[in-house]
Structure 1
Amino acid sequence: MEFSAAVLTAVNQPLSIERVTLTGLAPRDVLIRNAASGLCHTDLEIMCGSLAYPVPVVLGHEGAGVVQAVGEDVVSLKPGDHVIASWSPHCGHCFYCERDQPILCEPLTRHQPAGLLPDGRSRLRLNGQMLHHFSVVSSHAQFSVVTESGAIKIPQDMPLDRACLIGCGVMTGVGAVSRLAQVQAGTNVLIIGCGAVGLNAIQAAAFEQAEMVIAVDRDDSKLALASRFGATHVMQADDATLEMIKAATAGRGADYVFEAAGSEAALQLAMEATRPGGQLVILGKTEVNRKVGFRFGSMMGEKRIIRSSYGGARPLRDFPWLAQRYLDGKLNLDDLISTRLPLDRINEGFDAMRNGQGIRHVVTFD
Structure 2
Amino acid sequence: MAFNAAVLVEAAGPLRIEALDLTGLADTDVVVRVRATSLCHTDLEAVHGDLRTPLPFVPGHEAAGTVEWTGKRVSSLSVGDPVVTSWNPYCNECFYCARQQTILCQPYRDQAAQAYHFDGNPRLVWRDQPVHQLMYSGSFAELCVVSEACAIRVPPEMPMNRACLIGCGVMTGMGAVRNVAKVEAGATVTVIGCGAVGLSAVQGAGMAGAELIIAIDRQPGKLELARSLGATHTLAVDDSMAALYAELTQGRGADYVFEAAGNPSAFRASIDLVRPGGQVVWLGKLPADQEMSFRWGALMGEKRIVRSSYGGARPARDFPALAAAYLDGTLKLDEYVTSTIALGDVNVGLERLSSGQDIRAVIEF
Secondary structure of the residue aligned to 1:141 is coil
Question: C-alpha offsets along residues 98-122 of structure 1, whole Å, 9 cap, x if unaligned?
Answer: 1111011112111122111111101
Deviations 1:220-253 (A, max 9, x none): 0000101111000000012332332221011100
Is the 2:256–2:280 contact (alpha carbons within 8 Å) kept by the matching residues of 1? Answer: yes
Do the aligned partners of 2:89 and 2:150 also contact (CA within 8 Å) in 1?
A: yes
- Cα distance between partner residues in 2 of 1:307 and 1:242: 25
**Partner SS for 1:10:** coil
Are 2:349 and 1:349 aligned? yes
Amino acid at match of 2:186: G
Are the aligned partners of 1:202 and 1:230 in contact in 2 as well (CA < 8 Å)? yes
2:316 corresponds in structure 1 to 316
- The amino acid across from 1:329 in the alignment is G
Question: What SS is found at the alignment partner of 2:183?
Answer: coil
Name the % identity: 50
What residue number does 2:206 align with? 206
| 1:103-122 paired onto structure 2 within 5 Å | 103-122=103-122
Match of 2:93 in 1: 93
Deviates more, 1:60-69 or 1:104-113: 104-113
What TM-score, normalized to structure 2?
Answer: 0.99
Instruction: State whether residues 195 and 222 of structure 2, in contact with CA within 8 Å, keep that contact through their aligned partners in structure 1.
Output: yes
- For 1:43 and 1:241, the matched residues in 2 are separated by 32
Q: Which runs of 4+ in 1 moved over 3 A?
A: none
1:251 aligns with 2:247: no
- 1:163 maps to amino acid: A
Structure 2, unpaired ranges of 5+ = none
Q: Equivalences for 1:164-179 in 2 at 5 Å?
A: 164-179=164-179
- Contact 1:113-1:135 at 8 Å conserved across structures: no
Instruction: Report SS of the residue matched to 2:338.
Output: strand
* Structure 1 segment 33-182 matched on structure 2, within 5 A: 33-182=33-182
Question: What residue is the counterpart of 1:339 in the other structure?
Answer: 339
Query: How do 1:195-234 and structure 2 match up within 5 A?
Result: 195-234=195-234
The residue aligned with 1:281 is 281
| One-letter amino acid of the structure 2 residue matched with residue 247 of structure 1 | E
Partner SS for 2:137: coil
* SS, match of residue 114 in structure 1: coil
Aligned-partner SS, 1:173: helix
TM-score, with structure 1 as normaliser: 0.98
2:205 aligned counterpart, secondary structure: helix
Distance 1:135 1:113 in 2: 9
Shift of 1:157: 0.7
**SS of 2:3's equivalent?**
strand
Q: Give the Cα separation in 2 of the matches to 1:60 and 1:207.
A: 29
Residues 64-100 of structure 1: per-residue CA shift (max 9 Å, x gap):
1000110000011110111111001211111110111
The 2-side partners of 1:105 and 1:267 are apart by 26
Greater shift in the superposed pair: 163-172 or 236-245: 236-245
Instruction: Give me the whole-angstrom Cα distance separating, in 1, the residues matched to 2:58 and 2:93.
Output: 29
Letter in 1 for 2:169: G
Partner Cα separation in structure 2 for residue 347 and residue 201 of structure 1: 28
**Aligned residue pairs, count:** 365
Query: How far is the alpha carbon of 1:288 from its aligned partner?
Result: 1.4
Residue pair 1:260, 1:282 contacting (<8 A) in 2 also: yes
Work out the CA distance in 1 between the residues paired with 2:309 and 2:292. 18
Please give the alpha-carbon distance, in whole angstroms, between the structure 2 residues aligned to 1:98 and 1:337: 37
User: CA shift at 1:182, angstroms?
Assistant: 0.7
Gaps of 5+ in 1: none
Aligned to 2:307: 307
State the shift of 1:24 in Å: 4.3
Shift of 1:22: 0.5
Distance (Å, rounded) in 2 between the aligned partners of 1:241 and 1:182: 27
Q: Return the offset for 1:48.
A: 1.2
| Native 8 Å contact 2:47 2:59 kept in 1 | no
Residue 361 (str. 1) matches residue 361 (str. 2): yes
Matching residue's letter, 1:178 = R
Measure the CA separation in 2 of the matches of 1:133 and 1:223: 34
User: 2-side partners of 1:242 and 1:258: how far apart?
Assistant: 17
Contact 1:242/1:273 (<8 A) preserved? no
- Tell me the SS of whatever aligns to 1:356: coil
CA deviation map 1:313-352 (0-9, x unaligned): 1111100010000011000110000111111111110111
Distance (whole Å) between structure 2 residues aligned to residue 85 and residue 164 of structure 1: 8
| Residues 24 and 122, structure 2, Cα contact 8 Å, conserved in 1 | no
In 2: Cα distance, 1:80 partner to 1:199 partner:
32
- Looking at structure 1, the residues matched to 26 and 34 of structure 2 have their Cα atoms a distance apart, in angstroms, of 19
Q: Which sits farther off after the overlay, 287-296 or 53-62? A: 287-296
Letter in 2 for 1:89: P
Paired residue secondary structure (2:281): strand
- Calculate the aligned-residue CA RMSD, in Å: 0.9
Letter in 1 for 2:80: G
> Residue 20 of structure 2: SS of its match in structure 1?
strand
Kindly state the Cα deviation for residue 50 of structure 1 after the two structures are TM-superposed.
1.8
Which secondary structure state, in structure 1, belongs to the residue aligned with residue 279 of structure 2? Answer: strand
1:13 and 2:42 are equivalent in the alignment = no
